[in-house]
Amino acid sequence: MPKVLLLEDDRDMVTLLRTFLELEGFTVRALTLGEPVMALVESESPDVVLLDVFLAGQNGLQILENIRAHPRLGATRVVMVSGMDVSSECKKKGADAFLLKPYMPDELVRLLRSTADGVSPVA
């Protein structure tokens, strides 16, 4: 079962994603607001991070840069999501994939599975 770390600040979205992804066979851990992001990524060692570009009080692109610059976390697979098409910025910063909100649930599952497996996603 691939392990997904949700870095999302919308509680309703976290609840929906957690329930859906667990039903699809993923192990899911989600950020608690105020929790140090980098420490969480390091302690959880996820197969893939699902990272919102716009988090309350934090910049997802900066978090992505921090992950890529970290000696032990640099190879962590990261899928960025946003309601704005900032895919080129995300990919320039090192995202493995980008998904534009709103997205279809099956599209998310396909992208997370392929990214967790190390397959270069088309999205």
Answer whether residue 123 is part of any domain: no
Domain count across the chain: 1
Asked if residue 121 is part of any domain, the answer here is no
State whether residue 26 is helix, strand or coil: coil
Q: Considering the domain boundaries, does residue 79 fall inside one?
A: yes
Q: Is residue 122 part of a domain?
A: no
Name the amino acid, one letter, at 53.
Answer: V
Rounded-to-integer distance, Cα 121 and Cα 100, Å: 14
pLDDT digits (tens, 9 = 90+) for 74-108: 999 999 999 999 999 999 999 999 999 999 999 99
CATH number of the domain where residue 112 is located: 3.40.50.2300
Encode pLDDT of 2-21 as tens digits. 999 999 988 999 999 999 99
Domain hosting 101: range is 3-116
* Residue 32 located in a structural domain: yes
Model-level pTM greater than 0.95? no
Residue 51: inside a domain: yes
